[in-house]
């Protein structure tokens, strides 16, 4: 069956696929987006998990998408409304009052840390801004003589140089460090270090003592800086962000089809020329761009026979087994966390009592076990968003670490046990919580793999690590969005700069493709 011809086919309508499609369509390309699921969004989607209760199925907080993407694609004009903004982060404590991570909150806990926090944040944001200049564009290619690549390296060098000698030295000193040692240098309050350490490890295969955790923290802070350092939640959950992206792409002329699973990428005369859908429909295009993860795209949809052995080996070795689970609770009433004000309850609540606690929670995962005392990022989005739960009831949405993809004995046997452990852990801080639970759901990395077609169920599609970052992300030979096969590109979280609802891989890939024509 012949389904027509386009300039570009984008595989997957996760947020990166949609961002890429929107920019390509705005540049005058005819674009078709093909999404396997029945709705757009990928891992940034809203789902009803029990009748009447909706929740963001994976990503729940919008704080990483650069403000210029939001405005260039006119997401507000395409229906995006924020249910809440300026959300605070509060560290929960077992036997003392919780505190919010700002000057006022910290001064109640430690005058030294309150003063240190401002200086630390200012310096880390300065470093993050340097990193941002490398995230916001296709990375340069190594060993070429092209002016474009040299200029890109020069630009980064210049940004570094502009920091001045002291800051430049400090950034070079801390860049490869682990976040444990960095935070020990700066702070004394265990829960403050725990909260900041959790931010560095969320979504990764890391504990705070893992080298590279300062880089992942700077990555997060770089994207947050480009989003004006504001944590927000979309009205209707994360799926509403993708609905607005889809509307923006459609307004620019892109076509989006859901329930359209690509079963293979078509290769003719040594270039990608189209795709075949489940059901055998063949659609042709000059350029195919995949937002599916690199392994699914290159080893699955394309197939190893079109790639050379060395490249196939590096894709096979790509690390990307998820450790992050998501817990959803439908609650009869608003949960009461000990000492937490309504204002604090509107924001993020963190259970990460110390760096050592996170490290111990991580240790289990190295041996294929889940954490017996997991660390969590909790939000109760229904406080500010009545679309998510029936009046008077609420939904609780929590990121839970660590829940290894390769759990010994498998998740079918362990799901309920880990869910109970996570609920009990939250209940330590919110007495009586379990009596209010009407329904619950635990989404493990194995479920993420199945439901969102992300092999390994990893937040970043491929681990965010030095050896899978920047000029070698996801692998050498595919780090500038183009793959070794002419006509085939990547644009999802597995490509530079990485995961999170940023839209950066999607926009960078579109820029690369537009710039090539
Ligand atoms: C538990 C969890 C919590 C998270 N929390 C946050 C958060 O709070 N904030 C944040 O910013 N980020 C968060 N993230 C990270 C974020 O969700 C992801 O990094 C991001 O959504 C990836 O977007 P993407 O568009 O690159 O890929 P995806 O969202 O994975 O989209 C890829 C799309 O391709 C489709 N697809 C795949 N194969 C095919 C095929 N053969 N044919 C057609 N379609 C196909 C899939 O169905 C999917 O829709 C979280 C991630 C997890 C797992």
Domain boundaries, the chain: 2-45+60-81+235-318+461-516, 101-221, 320-452
pLDDT digits (tens, 9 = 90+) for 262-282: 999 999 999 999 999 999 999
- Take residue 84 and report the two structure tokens written for it: 């809440």
Q: Whose CA is nearest to atom 12 of ligand 1?
A: 500
Identical topology for domains 2-45+60-81+235-318+461-516 and 320-452 = no
Which of 12, 260, 444 has most ligand 1 atoms within 8 Å of its beta carbon, as the pocket-test mutant?
12
Closest ligand 1 atom, CA of 263?
41
Coil/strand/helix, residue 378: strand
- Take residue 178 and report the two structure tokens written for it: 């682990």
Provide CATH code, domain 2-45+60-81+235-318+461-516.
Answer: 3.50.50.60
What is the CA(453)–ligand 1 centre distance, in A?
A: 9
Spatial neighbors of 341 by CB under 8 A, at least 6 apart, are: none
Counting residues of the chain whose pLDDT is more than 90, the rounded percentage is: 95
pLDDT at 1: 64
Identify the DSSP state of 50.
E
477 φ/ψ angles, rounded to the nearest 5 degrees = 100, -15
Confidence of residue 142 (pLDDT cuts 50, 70, 90): confident
pLDDT at 11: 99
Report the distance separating Cα 133 and Cα 72, nearest Å: 18
User: What mean pLDDT, rounded, does the chain reach?
Assistant: 97
Q: Whose CA is nearest to atom 7 of ligand 1?
A: 59
Closest ligand 1 atom, CA of 445?
53
pLDDT at 146: 87
Spatial neighbors of 2 by CB under 8 A, at least 6 apart, are: 281, 282, 283, 284
Q: Is the pLDDT of residue 517 over 70?
A: no
Helical (H) or strand (E) element with 53: strand 53-56
Q: Whose CA is nearest to atom 6 of ligand 1?
A: 59
Length of the chain: 517
Coil/strand/helix, residue 73: coil
pLDDT digits (tens, 9 = 90+) for 443-486: 999 999 999 999 999 999 999 999 999 999 999 999 999 999 99
Topology given in CATH for the domain delimited by 320-452: Guanine Nucleotide Dissociation Inhibitor; domain 2 (3.30.519)
Identify the DSSP state of 69.
H
């Amino acid at each position: 069956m012949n389904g027509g011809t386009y300039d570009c086919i984008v595989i997957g309508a996760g947020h990166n696929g949609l961002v890429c499609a929107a920019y390509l369509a705005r540049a005058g390309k005819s674009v078709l987006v093909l999404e396997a699921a029945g709705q757009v969004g990928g891992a940034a989607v809203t789902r009803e998990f029990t009748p009447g209760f909706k929740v963001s199925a994976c990503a729940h907080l919008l704080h990483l998408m650069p403000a210029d993407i939001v405005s260039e694609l006119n997401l507000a004009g395409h229906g995006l409304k924020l249910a809440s903004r300026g959300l605070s982060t509060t560290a929960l404590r077992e036997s003392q009052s919780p505190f919010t991570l700002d000057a006022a909150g910290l001064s109640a806990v430690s005058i030294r840390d309150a003063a240190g926090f401002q200086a630390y944040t200012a310096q880390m944001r300065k470093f993050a801004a340097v990193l941002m200049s490398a995230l916001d564009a296709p990375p340069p290619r190594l060993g070429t003589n092209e002016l474009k690549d040299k200029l890109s390296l020069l630009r980064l060098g210049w940004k570094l140089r502009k920091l001045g000698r002291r800051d430049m030295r400090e950034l070079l000193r801390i860049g490869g460090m682990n976040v444990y040692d960095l935070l020990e240098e700066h702070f004394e309050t265990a829960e403050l270090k725990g909260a900041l350490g959790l931010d560095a490890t969320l979504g990764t295969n890391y504990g705070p003592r893992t080298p590279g955790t300062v880089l992942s923290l700077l990555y997060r802070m770089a994207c947050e800086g480009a989003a004006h350092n504001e944590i927000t939640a979309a009205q209707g959950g994360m799926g509403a962000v993708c609905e607005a992206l889809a509307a923006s792409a459609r307004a620019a002329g892109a076509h989006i089809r859901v329930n359209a699973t690509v079963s293979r990428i078509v290769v003719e005369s040594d270039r990608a020329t189209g795709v075949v859908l489940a059901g055998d429909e063949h659609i042709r295009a000059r350029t195919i761009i995949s937002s599916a993860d690199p392994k699914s795209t290159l080893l699955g949809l394309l197939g190893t026979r079109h790639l050379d052995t060395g490249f196939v080996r590096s894709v096979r070795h790509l690390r990307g087994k998820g450790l992050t689970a998501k817990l959803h609770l439908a609650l009869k009433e608003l949960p009461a966390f000990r000492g937490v004000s309504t204002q604090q309850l509107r924001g993020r609540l963190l259970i990460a009592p110390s760096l050592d606690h996170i490290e111990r929670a991580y240790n289990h995962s190295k041996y294929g076990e889940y954490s017996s005392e997991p660390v969590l990022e909790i939000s109760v989005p229904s406080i500010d968003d009545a679309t998510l739960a029936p009046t008077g009831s609420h939904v609780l949405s929590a990121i839970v670490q660590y829940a290894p993809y390769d759990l010994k004995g498998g998740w079918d046997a362990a799901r309920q046990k880990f869910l109970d452990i996570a609920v009990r852990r939250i209940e330590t801080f919110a007495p009586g919580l379990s009596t209010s639970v009407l329904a619950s759901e635990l989404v493990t990395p194995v479920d993420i793999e199945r439901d969102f077609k992300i092999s390994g169920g990893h937040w970043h599609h491929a681990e965010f690590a030095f050896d899978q970052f920047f000029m070698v992300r996801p692998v050498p030979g595919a780090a500038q969005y183009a793959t070794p096969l002419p006509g085939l590109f990547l644009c999802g979280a597995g490509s530079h700069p990485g995961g999170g609802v940023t839209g950066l891989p999607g926009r960078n890939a579109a820029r690369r493709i537009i710039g090539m024509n």
